Amino acid sequence: FKSVTFEDSLFKNCVFEDITSLNTYFRNCTFVNTTFYNTDLEQYKFVDSELIKCTFFHIRTECQISFNDDYSAYWIYFVNFLGTLAVLPGNIVSALLMDRIGRLTMLG
């Protein structure tokens, strides 16, 4: 799930398995006899929700990328551009050496 908000929903006899959520919340929901297996749905994502006979197995708590306003697409492309520029001198030197000493010698 990516940025989904469930409101006033009833989940009965459900199984949530292998779910990764980013900014997903359950507001005022009711869960009855529900199993959460290998998910990252933690308690803070259940706002004013009621959990009745629910079980949680293997809850994941690893870091996840979130694209907030501070981390816009511009910075992603700019960092990739800088990484490409860092490799450029090595590519130029490789091409010049390959022409000078030959491809087989360079490969060796």
pLDDT < 70 positions in the chain: 62-71
Residue 86: what are its φ and ψ, rounded to 5°?
-65, -30
pLDDT at 108: 80
Q: What is the residue extent of each domain of the chain?
A: 4-57, 68-107
The 10s digit of each residue's pLDDT in 34-62 is: 999 988 888 889 999 999 999 999 888 76
- Tell me the residue type at 79: V
Class of domain 4-57: mainly beta
How many CA atoms are closer than 13 Å to the CA of 66, on its beta-carbon side?
12
Kindly report the pTM of this predicted structure: 0.56
Specify the pLDDT at position 37: 92
pLDDT at 68: 54
Closest alpha carbon to 3 in 29, 23, 17, 31: 23
